[in-house]
Amino acid sequence: MRESETPPKVGCGAIVWQADQVLLIRRALPPFQGQWSIPGGRQKKGETVRECTLRELREETGLEAEILGLIDVVDAIYSEGDRDYHFTLIDFAVRPIGGTPRANDDASEVRWFPESSLKTLGLWSETLRVIRAGRKFFRSP
């Protein structure tokens, strides 16, 4: 990776489990256009990471939610063509409290997936790990 003066960008993600299924969006815009991902996006100036997570979930899926807890913080550092990227990704477990999932904003599709099908979607290994780690927030004691 080339040296850069640009600081990392902060992104917030929402992990939503319902029974044995997790909610994913298909990205409508670059980067990774057409790929499945957890709902989420870039933090805006003056916005907390929790506010960002709930806003991005609402914008992309139409769901209102509450945060259950922090799952993990992951750094995504990669190059695409002549561009270098560094995102610090903060992923929360969230529970829907209103709305019906539908694709909005920069999501072209929203769908529930059973855990058994996640490996077939081409998800980044860290995304898979965080999704699975988030399940503990949705299990009954």
Instruction: Give the pLDDT confidence of 59-98 residue by residue, as tens digits.
Output: 999 999 999 999 999 999 988 788 888 999 999 999 999 9
Active site residues: 109
- Euclidean distance between CA atoms 6 and 106, whole angstroms: 24
In the block, residue with structure tokens 């965080």 = 130
Helices (runs of H) and strands (runs of E) counted in the chain: 2, 8
Q: Sorting pLDDT into bands at 50, 70 and 90, what band is 140?
A: low
Q: Sorting pLDDT into bands at 50, 70 and 90, what band is 139?
A: confident
- Asked if 139 contacts 24 with a C-beta cutoff of 8 angstroms, the reply is no
Mean confidence (pLDDT) of the chain: 93
Residue 41's contacts (CB-CB under 8 Å, 6 or more residues apart) are 11, 12, 52, 56, 59, 60, 106
Q: Sorting pLDDT into bands at 50, 70 and 90, what band is 119?
A: very high
Instruction: Name the fold adopted by 9-135.
Output: Nucleoside Triphosphate Pyrophosphohydrolase (3.90.79)
In the block, residue with structure tokens 């529970």 = 95
pLDDT value of position 31: 77
- Euclidean distance between CA atoms 119 and 90, whole angstroms: 22
The pTM for the full model equals 0.91
